[in-house]
Structure 1
Amino acid sequence: MRAFVITGPGQGVVRDVPPPAARAGEVVVDVDRAGVCGTDLEFFSGEMAYLHSGEASYPMRIGHEWSGVVTAVGSAGDEAWLGRRVTGDTMLGCGHCARCTSGRQHLCADRHEIGVRRGWPGALAAQLPVPVSALHELPPEVDATLGALVEPGANALRAVLAAQLVPGARVLIMGPGTIGLLAASFAAAAGAEVHVLGLSLDFTRSLGFTHAWTADTLPELPFDAVVDCSTASTLPARAIDLVEPGGRVVFIGIAEQPSLADTRRLALKDVTAVGVLSGSGALAQTISAYAAGAVDPRPLVAATVTLDDAVAVLSGRRAPAWGPAPKIHITPAS
């Protein structure tokens, strides 16, 4: 089958590789759609931290945002999955440690991450092996595009849930990339007054987020919660400054350099700070929100291209016709 392989920093190629065989407890998925995210770009550039910690190495096959159809199963008891449209969790825990058995498999020290960690092949390929325990079925209302947006949507939803918003609460979303705009959408669906802080805001406003500000224009307002979806090392400290005493700050963006935050400010303002890793635990809720039309992230997809376009996409080259939407999808089978 055809698969995209990163062979080194800035180097990638489409290769013919052996197709996966479903082992016991696994299925094989024919991938309909795969999304490209910032993590994938960091693997391609060589900047991703896992490459330097030894948790990932070249050659590697990326892609952890996906949807597809189950075409093979490894255990007779899993045959009911055949033909189902699915997406799945990226985080694959060992299943035995205390974190896994308490429902926190995304924090398992020995976890694999599809297309990310410890060599599990990713979804920029015609087929993908996935444990049955990670699968989520997609209803008819959730098409291939929405299915490949479940994983980033679940990340954003977990961040919004961590903010503990109530209807009418005022929340500031920092960083209007894919995760930030998804977080803004889920916050709006929860009845919050959503404000967005960013650099380029025309696309953000086109989605209906009229309270969109730059650092220079942000008004002095009391924010009940701040969700930092940015990659700016200076913004975590600003988030603590901007949130109301007794409020909540959620950190889901990861900066290239360490972020310095004054914990005295956290304590003296009685602020709760929460970190979010992965969409695990919110995938089913995200699928339900998409199916019900409560959140429709399809405008975030600028273009859908083929596997042969992966190098251009990962190099940051964009066709002018694509416009400013942040997400690129790939159809691996074409």
Structure 2
Amino acid sequence: MTSVLETAAAQGVWPTGTMPALQMAEAGRLEVADVEVLPPAPGQLLAKVSHVGICGTDVHLLSGHSAYVVGGLTTYPIRFGHEWTGEVVAVGDDVDTSLVGRTVVGEPFLSCGQCRVCRSGRYNLCPTRFEIGVRGAVPGAAARYYRVPATNVAVVPDGVAPEHALVAEPSVTVLNSYETARVQPGERVAVLGTGTIGLIAVQVGIATGCVVDVLGIDEAGLGAARGFGAHAALAPDDAPADTYDVVLDCTGAASLGPTLTRIAAIGGRIMEVGIPGRPVDGVDLAAFVTKGLTLQGVLGGVHLLPRALQLIASGAIRPDLLLDEVVPVSRADEAFARCNAPGRAHPKIVLDMGTLPS
């Protein structure tokens, strides 16, 4: 069956039948399963997936601790894969045929487009949205082929490796944070966290012309931030008070609530990117009044995927310095376990989907 699929795809014909996919069968257990290739549909394209990135969201889905799993918005089996790269092999009606043969990356938000929130331009916050491979029943890209709306993809610039291109997906959240905060060159920026998004935030801040300090507890991650050019790499308790024009919390750690208001300068803008797993105690609400602070949550950045790819192509964002290893699907369990391990200066692990069994 696989050879028939491959032949059809090579001819630009939408293949039919079953294909292998990697999915979370239940909490704590991965499996390779045979699933149906979704049929052609207007506005959709089919990509042969080359790589899928693993991030903290995927780790929480597998463990069963994700708020989406706990709240019943996502149920097992879960085919994950919201960070992905692939080659377009076929397109449905109303899709530009010149996309066939191009390498693309995708962003995961599927919104209704009709509700009050969508009509205000905030598609990423649509209350009935799906997040591909994360929230709801739309499967992710951890399979041989992946059907996705053409409006959700961007073409990868020449010279960018596919395993690097998928870093564009987490990068859009960082770009949205800087855009929302209206960050200006020369401002002092504090980045909390040294995971993938935190280290991307350091790079974007430096490329913007900001003075960037990074706060964290992992020495390897702090060292990586210094290597990217961070002005200082500090433990949260050692960060100076009343200093930073912009504070980007990329951790979602509930314990850091008091730190956010303490380190923000007068008029500071606090961007909450990480999603705390529980209510945050100790936030100094009085400081919001006396220091004129603002707090903004940031979820994704649906309009910024092409810009993220250009920053990768230009070298402003260096996925190669974030990438730990590209591993075969047979080592997926190990890859997920390593994502939880401390002491990793290179936080991103990528699965080679070309190694799925036939």
Whether TM exceeds 0.5 here: the answer is yes
Report what 1:281 is aligned to. Answer: 303
Pair 1:302 & 2:314 matched: no
User: CA offset at residue 118 of structure 1?
Assistant: 1.4
Identity, % of aligned positions: 35
1:216-227 paired onto structure 2 within 5 Å? 216-220=237-241, 222-227=243-248
Q: 1:319 to 1:251 in 2, by over 3 A?
A: closer
- Paired with 2:95 and 2:307, the residues of 1 have a C-alpha distance of 26
CA displacement at 1:259 relative to structure 2: 1.1
How far 1:263 sits from its partner (Å)?
Answer: 2.5
- Whether 1:249 and 2:270 are equivalent positions in the alignment is yes
Matches of 2:235 and 2:341, distance apart in 1: 26
Q: Which structure 1 segments of 5+ residues have no match?
A: none
Query: Residue in 1 aligned with 2:209?
Result: 191
How many angstroms does 1:145 deviate by? Answer: 2.1
The unaligned stretches of length 5 or more in structure 2 are 1-18
How far, CA to CA, are the matches of 2:247 and 2:87 in structure 1? 38
Q: 2:288 aligned to 240, 261, 266, which one?
A: 266
The question of whether the paired residues in 1 share the 8 Å contact of 2:202 and 2:225 is answered with no
Q: 1:287 to 1:250 in 2, by over 3 A?
A: same
Cα distance, 1:18 vs. partner?
2.0
**Residue identity in the other structure for 1:232:** A
Matches within 5 A, 1:105-144: 105-144=123-162
1:235 aligns with 2:256: yes
Whole-angstrom distance in 2 between the partners of 1:133 and 1:60: 23
Q: What secondary structure is seen at the aligned counterpart in 2 of 1:316?
A: helix
1:179/1:229 contact within 8 Å kept: yes
The answer on 1:157 being equivalent to 2:175 is yes
Aligned residues: CA RMSD = 2.0
In structure 2, relative to structure 1, the CA distance for the partners of 1:323 and 1:180 (3 Å cut) is: closer
1:182 CA drift (Å)? 0.5
SS state of the match for residue 140, structure 1?
Answer: coil
Specify the alignment match of 1:147 in structure 2. Answer: 165
Q: Give the distance between the partners of 1:198 and 1:319, measured in 2 at CA.
A: 15
Give the Cα separation in 2 of the matches to 1:230 and 1:122: 24
Out of 12-21 and 244-253, give the one that drifted further.
Answer: 12-21
AA of the residue aligned to 2:320: R
Number of equivalent positions: 333
Q: CA deviation at 1:223?
A: 1.2
Structure 1 position 150, deviation (Å): 0.5
1:214 alignment counterpart: 235
Using the size of structure 2 for normalisation, the TM-score is 0.87
List aligned pairs for 1:5-154, cutoff 5 A. 5-75=23-93, 77-154=95-172
